[in-house]
Amino acid sequence: MCGLLGFIDTRRNCDIKILKEMTNALIHRGPDAEGFFFEENKNSIIGLGHRRLSILDLSKNGNQPLRFNNNIIIYNGEIYNFLEIKEELKKLNYEFNSNSDTEVILKAYDKWGIDCVNKFIGMFVIIIYDKKKEKVFLIRDRAGVKPLYYYFYDGLFMFASELKSFHKNPNFQKEIDPQGLNLFFKYGYILEPFTIFKFTKKLRSGHYIEYNLINNKINENKYWDVANNYNKERLNISFEDASLEMERLLKSAFQYRTVSDVPVGVFLSGGYDSSIVAAILQKNSAKKIKTFTIGFNEKNINEANYAKDIANFLQTEHYEHYCTKKDALEIFPQLANIYDEPFGDPSSIPTVLLSNFVRKYVTVSLSADGGDEVFAGYSKYLTVTKYREVFKGNKNLKKIISFF
């Protein structure tokens, strides 16, 4: 996890001091290094800041911002297939000075332009300043794993990994957006592209923004849509073949995510999702993997015993920490600072506690989130399936439901 931010100021109210203060607000995301780019041109002032958490290439060669030809990059995330892309670029006569995926992204953009994003497998937010085209690109990964907020008002365009960075800029207008507040009361969180503030948005997952420095206009483009994948033609294969293919895909996905120059672990709850992640990783590892669990002293909500059973069966190096009332009370006041806007999921408390606990042992951890959504693990999905069977073939009933 790194922190990035920047601004394009046509009114020239921002300076290098503001840039550094905005960057320092994200020090918790990247304690290993910091970097800045600051430039005044004929139309605006441009500032880019970066806080680095070193995952790949721990040397200074991986520090950002990074420059190649007319392009400058700051980036947060990980491109899991960067080695394959790097080999492809080497065959096209590109040379590399580091072992970082940042340099691969920058040179992939140099070769293929914005279309390079279609080659990336990973979680990422990428900011590229193309001086030749006089454009700045903001790119967010397909599933929106990595966060990016942007603010556009009164000649100031800002972007950052977290909203707290904006508060360090005195030109930021802190007005509550009623629509964002309404979404929080409805869902318990604020859906993209909205935020709690006016003039401030979340960049949608699978999208990129193109900022034109000549006319100071932004254009948001979609480069990927999950619906296109869901609507692909179904494979005509047996259940057994589908099971083998699923294991192959999961194995590939998990191994990609453990390519790192720092220790990696797994959040283990004892449920199907995290147990499968741990099982596949341990099956394909010569060493014991590290697994981590949060437990509760209240027996009716405690799942730590299930996690311990799985860890013993898989023979992982297992760690557990029990969440007490005191832990929860200490974490609760921190939540507003962590999330920057209203967030109503109580699971945030054990998640923060677990993350703090795990950081003592590893730098990166896999969490297995999303399994229930992908594999229809909630009871509501079974309900939808039942209704679908009822409606199936009954055209009149479908018409009535559609009308209402």
The DSSP annotation for 180-244 comes to: HHHHHHHHSS--TT--SBTTEEEPPTTEEEEEETTTTEEEEEE---HHHHHTSPPP---HHHHHH
> What does the alpha-carbon distance between residue 74 and residue 89 come to, in Å, rounded to a whole number?
20
Annotation marks residue 14 as catalytic: no
Owner of token pair 């401030």:
200
List the end-to-end C-alpha distance of the chain, in Å, as a whole number.
46
> What does the alpha-carbon distance between residue 223 and residue 141 come to, in Å, rounded to a whole number?
10
β-sheet with 3-9: strand ranges across: 33-40, 45-52, 3-9, 156-160, 149-153, 200-202
Locate 52 and state its tokens. 């680095």
CA atoms within 13 A on the CB side of 168: 23
Q: State the chain's maximal CA–CA distance in angstroms.
A: 67
Q: CB under 8 Å to 401, separation ≥6 — which residues?
A: 391
Q: Active site residue: 2, 14, 116, 323, which one?
A: 2
Count of CB atoms within 10 A of residue 375's CB? 13
Give the DSSP H/E element, type plus range, for residue 35.
Answer: strand 33-40
| Helix, strand and coil percent figures for the chain, each rounded to 5 | 40, 25, 35
Q: Which residues are catalytic?
A: 2
